[in-house]
């Protein structure tokens, strides 16, 4: 598959048969020992190579690291946010095994028309407290939904755990409901800053590098593991499974149903570009900016 790399998809017994055909009669145990000797282990392909590289991506990583250290030292909250893929609610097949007394039978096709609903899990990972929170939406993943999700986190977790906070740092991807190039997201951020009375600083990860967003490797994999094999027959079943995402290193998870109607195709008000209060950084302003409330601490 790649020049200079040894590989095989044969089983241990299959390798033993191949060796026997060449005059080497060995047991499966010996085959295992030979694989270990040549440092060959069972591995799966990993999606690690970015499709493209932005010429300023390394500088953006440095900027993100700078703000992370700045906020940590100041005792200000740092949230890594993103939306997991939507899930259909109904008797649909999901990967994984569970201990059951009988075979669990699901629909043989995942037609959306057969679903009783759909959920959009919006995740917020508090880096300093190792706490993940998921707001489950049943409508659409929009910029308004994302900002309502952040507001809920602040009202129920952030305000109590960071009573002296002067600013909130958001680490997010460059696309989706919090896209870097969407004026509606910035408009919603302004309203959010006014709503919670706190400055909000945003740092976007460069294109094709969303895998470095902390939520992607410190929270979401554990949520996925907790949901393995669970059939999401109801919204409550899905939420209950997600809430089980914990680790021995102290990760805790909370889940809330953020019900409401969020319409797609939302846009910022006309002439918003002229009245926008977003403060852009001098360096890489597209990815780094702040929403400042009109009244601090409201």
Tens of pLDDT, residue by residue over 69-124, are 999 999 999 999 999 999 999 999 999 988 888 888 999 999 999 999 999 999 99
The helix/strand/coil state of 29 is: helix
- Asked whether 145 and 122 are in contact (CB, 8 A), the reply is yes
Q: Where are the domains of the chain?
A: 1-45, 57-291
Nearest residue to 92 via CA among 74, 112, 72, 66: 112
The pLDDT of residue 274 is above 80: yes
pLDDT of 297 > 70? The answer is no
Kindly state the percentage of the chain with pLDDT values over 90: 84
pLDDT at 2 over 70: no
126: tokens are: 């508090």
Report the pLDDT value the prediction gives residue 39, as an integer from 0 to 100: 85
State the alpha helices, DSSP H only, in 78-182. Answer: 143-153, 159-161
User: What residues does 134 pair with on adjacent strands?
Assistant: 123, 255
Higher pLDDT, 100 or 1: 100
Q: What gap in Å lies between CA 61 and CA 259, rounded to an integer?
A: 35
CA 56 to chain centre: 23
DSSP state of 139: S
Helix, strand counts (H, E) of the chain: 10, 9
pLDDT tier, 205 (very low <50, low <70, confident <90, very high otherwise): very high
Q: Which two tokens stand for residue 285?
A: 């302003």
SS3 at position 154: helix
State pLDDT tens for residues 5-60: 777 888 999 999 999 999 999 999 999 999 998 888 887 776 656 556 788 999 99
Q: How confident is the model at residue 4 (pLDDT cuts 50, 70, 90)?
A: low
Radius of gyration of the chain (CA): 24
**Whole-number pLDDT of residue 3:** 67
Tokens representing residue 92 in the block? 């649909």
What mean pLDDT comes out for the span 288-296?
Answer: 92
Average pLDDT, the chain: 93
Decide: helix, strand or coil at residue 54.
coil
In words, the CATH class of domain 57-291 is alpha beta
Task: Inform me whether the pLDDT recorded for 176 exceeds 90.
Answer: yes
Give the pLDDT score at 47: 61
pLDDT digits (tens, 9 = 90+) for 212-245: 999 999 999 999 999 999 999 999 999 999 999 9
The runs of H, that is alpha helices, within the chain are 12-21, 28-37, 57-74, 143-153, 159-161, 183-196, 214-218, 220-226, 235-242, 272-275
User: Which pLDDT score, from 0 to 100, does residue 83 have?
Assistant: 97
Mean pLDDT of 152-166: 98
* Residue 253 scores a pLDDT above 90: yes
Using a pLDDT cut of 70, give the percent of the chain over it. Answer: 95
pLDDT at 117: 95
Q: Give the residue-averaged pLDDT of 158-174.
A: 97
Ranked by mean pLDDT, which of 2-6, 89-93, 294-298 comes out on top?
89-93
Residue 298 has pLDDT above 80, yes or no: no
pTM: 0.85
């Amino acid at each position: 598959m790649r020049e200079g790399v040894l590989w095989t998809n044969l089983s241990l017994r299959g390798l033993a048969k191949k060796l026997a055909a060449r005059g080497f009669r060995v047991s499966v145990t010996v085959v295992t020992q030979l694989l270990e000797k040549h440092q060959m282990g069972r591995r799966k392909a990993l999606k690690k190579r970015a499709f493209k590289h932005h010429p300023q991506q390394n500088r953006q990583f440095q900027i993100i690291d700078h703000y992370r250290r700045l906020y940590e030292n100041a005792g200000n909250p740092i949230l890594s946010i993103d939306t997991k893929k939507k899930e259909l609610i109904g008797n649909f097949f999901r990967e994984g095994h569970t201990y059951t007394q009988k075979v669990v039978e699901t629909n043989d096709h995942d037609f959306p028309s057969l679903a009783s609903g759909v959920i959009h899990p919006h995740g917020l990972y508090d880096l300093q407290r190792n706490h993940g929170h998921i707001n489950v939406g049943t409508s659409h993943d929009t910029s308004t939904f994302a900002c309502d999700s952040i507001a809920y986190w602040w009202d129920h977790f952030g305000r109590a755990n960071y009573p002296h906070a002067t600013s909130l740092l958001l680490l997010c991807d460059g696309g989706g409901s919090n896209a870097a190039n969407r004026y509606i997201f910035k408009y919603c951020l302004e309203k959010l800053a006014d709503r919670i009375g706190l400055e909000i600083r945003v740092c976007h990860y460069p294109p094709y590098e969303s895998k470095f967003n902390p939520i992607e490797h410190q929270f979401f994999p554990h949520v996925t593991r907790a949901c393995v094999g669970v059939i999401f027959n109801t919204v409550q079943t899905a939420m209950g499974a997600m809430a089980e995402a914990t680790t021995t290193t102290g990760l805790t998870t909370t889940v809330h149903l953020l019900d409401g109607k969020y319409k797609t195709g939302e846009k910022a008000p006309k002439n918003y570009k002229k009245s926008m209060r977003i403060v852009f950084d001098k360096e890489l302003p597209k990815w780094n900016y702040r929403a400042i409330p009109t009244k601090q601490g409201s």
